[in-house]
Structure 1
């Protein structure tokens, strides 16, 4: 698989370089020869006959970073002072925080924001519970809830390891929607316990965003919470993914001049995202959708790796009742939607697809097939990176 340099694997290397012509060129050549992509070069100071420089280098993976450092060590006359992983540095100490909206600069401020003045506000909400939306953060605050059982393409890594993703989602809410969000990482996989915990927490939030909860439990958890809470409940892995895929596919089909009702769509991955995407595609007019998972093509009557959700889905997909692998499903297909794992398909599979194939390789952080590998063999390709 081709490893293209990306900012997600980027280093900040501090070097002490002899201050004479040609030395910086030797450094950049060594980086390029090792497969690194230089993003920025900054002068950080001077020594006796030397220059201190910070160089930002993007690589394709951890091994690529090690190759860059080994290459630099071979450049005579320079010293490597430090190497920092920029992604880890960004996450150091967490990515979000709580800040006060109003200053507490006087005793009057304190008396109104907290006791005794706050008691009057509490009683106003007690007398009219709807005022909680006007007098607290509830109106603009979302809980991002996970159990860490289906994080990105990493799988069941637990609630603690899921925290960086949940912090990132909270950042997106704030940056792009102006909505305050906070990670709630629950140390249980019991659907009943998750439902109870969210219900207990719900008075402080205006909405619930379920995130990275494995299938099929996620369907029941969402259904229960929607029925039992009086605030919106949204499972991002299902509905967020499905909406974006449908929007992207509608535009892609316009470019290739095909209608959604005439194309064959292969969906790899039948977890929360795959199931919800298939349902939305069918509701949008798709006639031939074929779902695949690690047991191969989903068809009515299949016994391996099934659950009630897949059994229901099998009845409304794959009208030709095809059987076999995802590779076989792609023979003559117009669209591939990957919601599974890295390397799920190969270039030879893409070459078997219909004219002007559309590939949405959405596995994250590494897609089912790298765009650089597909190249000219697909008319349109998108990833979830």
Structure 2
């Protein structure tokens, strides 16, 4: 690729950052609360507030489940973070993490019709985070954990899933894993390789890749054919540093003893020799993954370089090095592997059947539903997964999740496939139409010219 083309691509990659710094202070936040009931005058308050509101309160007091019928709890999600692992920025604190949580809430609403409230906590103590979320349960139908550092994020999720009355999800774990699996299913189909035969190298041993390893092995990849690397090299049973810390981070130590059957010791180039798939969720690039390392891979290699805001290797560099299929986490390149393709539709399905939890089976069902949408439209090397503009993805995902929840017996509401689809479709359309109407009326101001 010539220098002029590379320069244009780099300039294009910088544009979203420049626009973001211009527009965030202009709008002063991305979400607000708007009433959903008609208000013609203050007389209506006697119904929606006092004295009329006392009757729903009494009814809920007698039968707690009626809170889902008389309030918005059925569609409310808490987006909870302590700001210790925000994007690729690290521990930047709860205030600095708030723009991300607001963005998450915006995506929940626009893509899934879900009402989400950003909650950034001024504590790093995992037990305190669990305690706060436990206290929040009466107000929400589910909790989305976000940008919480590894390894405490695993402890927090596991503890909450075991003890909470509402579904809990950690998007950096389950969301990333679900969308990676969807893209991988279709990428393998394109190159004609079977999921149980491929050798997979995973660069990065944080929350996202640990959860991804769990889900892709649950879906059929042999863990012995997986090699995981952290900043010090490959994971294997002779890593004394990880053995010493195994009680503090048992999840990472588990990878040492269940993956890398050949016992490969070394760095990225050693691991990638003969590999079919690279799944990288490590530090922002470029240059983390080098062209010469891609050249060591097997025929028709699949490269998922998903660090944000800059992938570990630029897509054009990976292609020049021989990668058949390349995916990143960015929307301005083909094949965006982004959690936003997963959590809105998944939570739509979870909320619509009032599921008590979000299981691995539900995640696999969501991944297969997501992959199927792309297959129906025609797979290419630059289209292995739908993009966020294909809004039909989300109701189909919701159906897959809802049906699986009912099959597993974790759903409190029983709906047919058609009922699930129409319900999800209606909620998502309502959200999009509302935003469109606010924009047309000028209540949401147009983006100012530069």
Normalised-by-shorter TM-score class? 0.7 to 0.9
Relative to structure 1, is the Cα distance of residues 281 and 143 closer, same or farther in structure 2, using a 3 angstrom cutoff? same
TM-score (norm 1): 0.78
From 81, 88, 106, the equivalent of 2:21 is 88
Which of 312-321 and 132-141 deviates more?
312-321
Please report how far the alpha carbon of residue 168 of structure 1 lies from its aligned counterpart in structure 2 after TM superposition.
Answer: 1.1
Question: In structure 2, what is the equivalent of residue 349 of structure 1?
Answer: 293
Which has the larger share of strand?
Answer: 1
Please report how far the alpha carbon of residue 375 of structure 1 lies from its aligned counterpart in structure 2 after TM superposition.
Answer: 2.5
Q: Show structure 1 runs of 5+ residues with no match.
A: 7-34, 38-56, 66-84
Give yes or no for contact 1:295–1:304 (8 Å, CA) kept in 2: no
1:109 aligns with 2:44: yes
User: 1 CA distance for matches of 2:4 and 2:152?
Assistant: 36
User: 2 CA distance for matches of 1:165 and 1:3?
Assistant: 34
1:294 aligns with 2:227: no
User: 2 CA distance for matches of 1:323 and 1:268?
Assistant: 14
User: 1 CA distance for matches of 2:303 and 2:35?
Assistant: 45
1:257 aligns with 2:199: no
Q: How many residues align?
A: 317
Give yes or no for contact 1:270–1:292 (8 Å, CA) kept in 2: yes
CA-to-aligned-CA distance 1:64-112 (integer Å, 9 cap, x gap): 99xxxxxxxxxxxxxxxxxxx4212332210011001123222431111
Please report how far the alpha carbon of residue 182 of structure 1 lies from its aligned counterpart in structure 2 after TM superposition.
Answer: 0.9
User: 1 CA distance for matches of 2:288 and 2:3?
Assistant: 16
User: 1 CA distance for matches of 2:262 and 2:211?
Assistant: 21
Relative to structure 1, is the Cα distance of residues 345 and 218 closer, same or farther in structure 2, using a 3 angstrom cutoff? same
User: 2 CA distance for matches of 1:236 and 1:3?
Assistant: 38
User: 2 CA distance for matches of 1:315 and 1:87?
Assistant: 43
User: 1 CA distance for matches of 2:205 and 2:47?
Assistant: 53
Relative to structure 1, is the Cα distance of residues 285 and 128 closer, same or farther in structure 2, using a 3 angstrom cutoff? same
Give yes or no for contact 1:3–1:61 (8 Å, CA) kept in 2: no
1:153 aligns with 2:97: no
Give yes or no for contact 1:5–1:60 (8 Å, CA) kept in 2: no
From 178, 188, 205, the equivalent of 2:140 is 205
1:383 aligns with 2:328: yes
Question: In structure 2, what is the equivalent of residue 26 of structure 1?
Answer: none
User: 2 CA distance for matches of 1:170 and 1:277?
Assistant: 23
Matches within 5 A, 1:195-274: 195-274=130-209
CA-to-aligned-CA distance 1:218-261 (integer Å, 9 cap, x gap): 11101111122100001111111111111111110111111111
| 1:304 counterpart SS class | helix
Give yes or no for contact 1:363–1:383 (8 Å, CA) kept in 2: yes
Give yes or no for contact 2:236–2:265 (8 Å, CA) kept in 1: yes
Q: Show structure 2 runs of 5+ residues with no match.
A: 331-450
Give yes or no for contact 1:142–1:180 (8 Å, CA) kept in 2: yes
Matches within 5 A, 1:158-169: 158-169=93-104
Give yes or no for contact 1:361–1:381 (8 Å, CA) kept in 2: yes
Give yes or no for contact 1:296–1:326 (8 Å, CA) kept in 2: yes
Question: In structure 2, what is the equivalent of residue 73 of structure 1?
Answer: none
Please report how far the alpha carbon of residue 125 of structure 1 lies from its aligned counterpart in structure 2 after TM superposition.
Answer: 0.9
Please report how far the alpha carbon of residue 58 of structure 1 lies from its aligned counterpart in structure 2 after TM superposition.
Answer: 5.7
Please report how far the alpha carbon of residue 322 of structure 1 lies from its aligned counterpart in structure 2 after TM superposition.
Answer: 0.8
From 163, 168, 181, the equivalent of 2:116 is 181
Superposed CA RMSD: 2.3
User: 1 CA distance for matches of 2:269 and 2:241?
Assistant: 18
Which has the larger share of helix?
Answer: 2
